[in-house]
C-alpha cells in the first residue's frame, strides 16, 4: 500500500510502498501521535525502515493496496 507522510518544515512529503496493512500503519501512527513512541517507524516493501520524529508529523495519507501489473498493457 502507498503511504504518504507530510513532515513539518520539509519541502516534500515522504512516499513509500509498504507491505504492512492499513491497520498496522494506522496503529503505528496512532502510537506515535499519542506520545507512546518518539518515532514513527514504517517498513517499505523492500525491507527498508523509514523513521520520522513523531512531533514533526504533519499528516499521513494511506492509499489503496497496490496490485502488481504485468505486461505491456499495464496502464489499463
Q: Could you give all domains of the chain from N- to C-terminal order, each with its CATH number?
A: 2-62 (2.30.30)
Cα Rg, the chain, nearest whole Å: 14
Is 3's pLDDT higher than 70? yes
State how far the Cα of 36 lies from the Cα of 28, in Å rounded to an integer.
10
Longest Cα separation, the chain:
47
The C-alpha cell at 59 is 499528516
Helix (H, G, I), strand (E, B) or coil at 64: coil
Task: List, in order, residues 6 or more apart from 40 with CB less than 8 Å away.
Answer: 5, 28, 29, 32, 51, 52, 53, 54, 57, 60
Q: What whole-number percentage of the chain has pLDDT above 90? A: 70
**Tens of pLDDT along 17-54?**
998 899 999 999 999 999 998 999 999 999 999 999 99
Q: What is the pTM of this model?
A: 0.78
Give the per-residue pLDDT at 69: 63
Is 72's pLDDT higher than 90? no
Amino acid at each position: 500500500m502507498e503511504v504518504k507522510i507530510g513532515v513539518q518544515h520539509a519541502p516534500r512529503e515522504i512516499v513509500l510502498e509498504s507491505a504492512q496493512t492499513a491497520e498496522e500503519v494506522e496503529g503505528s501512527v496512532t502510537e506515535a501521535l499519542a506520545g507512546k513512541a518518539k518515532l514513527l517507524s514504517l517498513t517499505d516493501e523492500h525491507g527498508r525502515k523509514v523513521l520520522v520524529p513523531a512531533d514533526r508529523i504533519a499528516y499521513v495519507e494511506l492509499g489503496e493496496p497496490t496490485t502488481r501489473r504485468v505486461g505491456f498493457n499495464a496502464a489499463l
